[in-house]
Amino acid sequence: MLYKTSDPKIVIKEIKKLKPIPYNKFMWWRRFESKTKPLPKGAKFLDRITNGEFEFSHYYWQWKYCELEINELYTQYKGDIQMLLEKNRVDLERRKRLILDFEKDENDRLEALKNGFLREFFMTEENYYNHLEKFDGTTEDFYLYCSETFGKTFKPTERRGRPKKNKI
């Protein structure tokens, strides 16, 4: 075994939850995507949470699935790493790119989640991190907890484009 991966049954179970995508020459390393589509930009924050936009990134499971395939090839080559490097460089590059995609996507999701909570409730960034560390539950439960603990802000959402005309 070249890479230590989690239980193959769990990885395959999670991969089956994803939707296969056709080959794309610009994003060739990606094989699957999430079945749920993200909501439009103007959707409510709670709706985006219930849609699962801030949950764990699916690129992790693609990464682990790729490692399972590489481990299988490694056993076929009887532990010859040089042959693996020569014949399956594409799989190793796929793994590397999926790791980068996972890290970027996970950071983007966490940043968007933090910004959403700071925009939605009267809380500072320090309050957000303090309560998040102590809280044990789902994202939706944390939203409900914050709605009880902190007051909601009633900031109008930023709009782009031409402002409305002033009536005289």
Nearest partner of 48 among 61, 33, 36, judged by Cα: 36
Nearest partner of 105 among 12, 21, 33, judged by Cα: 33
Q: Which amino acid is at 117?
A: F
Token pair, residue 38, equals 């993200």
User: What CA–CA distance (Å, rounded) separates 99 from 62?
Assistant: 9
Residues in contact with 52: Cβ distance below 8 Å, sequence separation at least 6, in sequence order: 34, 36
Token pair, residue 56, equals 């764990």
Query: Does the predicted TM-score (pTM) go above 0.85?
Result: no
How far is the first Cα of the chain from the last one, in angstroms, to the nearest whole number?
76
**pLDDT reported for residue 65:** 93
Secondary structure E strands in the chain: 19-20, 32-33
**pLDDT reported for residue 4:** 72
pLDDT by 10s per residue, the chain, length 168: 567 777 889 889 999 999 999 999 999 999 999 999 999 988 999 999 999 999 999 999 999 999 999 888 888 888 788 888 888 889 999 999 999 999 999 999 999 999 999 999 988 999 999 999 999 999 999 999 999 988 887 665 666 788 788 887
Token pair, residue 121, equals 């409730």
